[in-house]
Structure 1
Amino acid sequence: MFELIFILVFIATLLVTGITMMTVLAATVLSFLVLSVLGMVGVVFKLLPWLIVIAVGVWFFKNYVYSPR
């Protein structure tokens, strides 16, 4: 949500300062791509402890619980 608000404020600032429309579109696309990638990295860091717990659980199940026939 923060990324969307930032992009909207960024576009409004560029439009008010009198930058050309092509430059505004290029800056909008670039900022959207950068913030999307950074948002995805943030989600991965937020989920990292759960991913580690799941990986340890799968390893424990494969090595100590499940016995192949």
Structure 2
Amino acid sequence: MTELLFLIGFGLALVMTGVSAIGIFAAIVVGFVIMAFAGMLGLLFKMLPWIILIAAVIWLCRGKDKSARRCRDYCYDRSRSYRKRYR
């Protein structure tokens, strides 16, 4: 919301100083891109502890899944025997 208010104020300041319509539109587009990037970067830093926590939980739970490991080993063995048989 702050970004939107900044862009509106920025556009009004350019209108009051007599900048052309093309210049105002270009300045608002560039300002929007910069503000959107800054907002996404700020959100990333705000969410970083949660992202690290989720990654740690996934890393810890990954080794305990025996069924996935058995399935992967079974498929690997079947494909290896298939390759040996049809060479």
TM-score, normalised to structure 2, is 0.74
Alignment: residue pair count: 68
CA shift, 1:15, in A, is: 0.3
Counterpart residue type for residue 51 of structure 2: L
TM-score, normalised to structure 1, is 0.91
CA shift, 1:3, in A, is: 0.6
CA shift, 1:60, in A, is: 0.3
Residue ranges of structure 1 left out of the alignment (5+ in a row) = none
Percent identity of paired positions between Structure 1 and Structure 2: 37
Residue ranges of structure 2 left out of the alignment (5+ in a row) = 71-87
Alignment RMSD, CA only? 0.9
CA–CA distance in structure 1, aligned partners of residues 65 and 22 of structure 2: 60
Aligned structure 1 segments of 4 or more residues deviating by more than 3 angstroms: none
Higher Rg of the two aligned structures: 2
State the SS of the aligned residue for 1:19.
coil
Partner of 2:50: 50
Query: Using CA pairs below 8 Å that are at least 6 residues apart, which structure has the higher relative contact order?
Result: 1
